Every structure is written in C-alpha cells, then in structure tokens.
Amino acid sequence: MSVSRIGLISDTHNLVRPEALQWLAGCDAIIHAGDICAPHVLDALAQIAPVTAVRGNNDFGEWAMQLPVSTTLEVQRVKIHVVHDIAGLHADALASGVRVVVTGHSHQPRVEARGGVLFVNPGSAGPRRFKLPISAGMLTVDGERAEASLHTLVA
C-alpha cells in the first residue's frame, strides 16, 4: 500500500490562487473545509484530484446547499472527519473512531494532536485576513498512520 497524499485547503472565499493549485498538484485527493463561496473553486480543484468539500458559513446558493455541513471519509485505514467550524464538531463523530479532524473557519493554520486525534486547520488560502498567513496543508496517510503539515502559500 503506498502513501496517500491528501491536500487540505479551506476558506478560499472565491479565490483560486495559483500557489494553491501548485501546492496541491500531485495529490491523490483534496479536502476543502468550507467557505468556498463559488462553485468554480471546486471545479478548479477537481482538475487536480477528487474533492471532498463541506459547506462553510459563507457558502450560499443552490450549489452550496448540496454540500454537507460535515462528512467523514476513510483513506486507507484512517477515518477523517471534515467540518468547517470546530464548534460544529459533535462528540459522536469522535466516538466513531475518527483519527483526523479537518476544520477551517478561524483562518489560523494549526496541527495539534489531542486524545489520539489529529486536529488540522490548513488556515486560509483565500484573501488575506488581518495578518494571518495564506496557507494550505497536506495530510499523508500510510496504513493506520496519518501526519499533517502546513505550508505558507504567500508570505
């Protein structure tokens, strides 16, 4: 079984940065943790790899209503739960054996392990907010192991 590379992106807010597309190139799959704001963002990402996306608090319209508020997927032997705002994370999601939680919303990139669960916020790949970095992430899955890293797209 080879290592799976899952690109992590969030809070694009209608902006598809060339730096983000370059960072995600070669991924096996992409997770978008919400605040997409327009379907062309998902179309651009889908040119790279299959996309799993959730609806964020700024995603409106018919296209957005078709996105789930949260979803769980399995890559190799790792369950990954995706929800835009960590406040929307329900305990039952963790009780189902989830090993990785991917969120967005705060625009603050962070990787943190708590209670055997890896929490990843890739930050915002969209318009700069305050002085926060423009970033994305990468999740590598090898069997039952998962590791995440962050990458600054624009300094």
Q: What is the CATH number of the domain that holds 119?
A: 3.60.21.10
Give how far Cα 57 sits from Cα of 8, 99, 137, Å. 18, 25, 21
Distance, in Å, from the CA atom of 105 to the CA atom of 35, rounded to the nearest integer, reads 7
pLDDT in tens, 66-89: 999 999 999 999 999 999 999 999
Of the pLDDT bands very low, low, confident and very high (cuts 50, 70, 90), residue 90 is: confident
pLDDT at site 148: 98
For residue 78, the enclosing domain spans: 4-154
Distance, in Å, from the CA atom of 76 to the CA atom of 87, rounded to the nearest integer, reads 27
pLDDT at site 1: 66
Q: Round the average pLDDT of the chain to a whole number and report it.
A: 96
Of the pLDDT bands very low, low, confident and very high (cuts 50, 70, 90), residue 95 is: confident
- If one counts every other C-beta atom within 10 angstroms of the C-beta of residue 120, the result is 30
Our count of domains for the chain comes to 1
Q: What is the mean pLDDT of residues 48-73?
A: 98
**pLDDT of 34 higher than 80:** yes
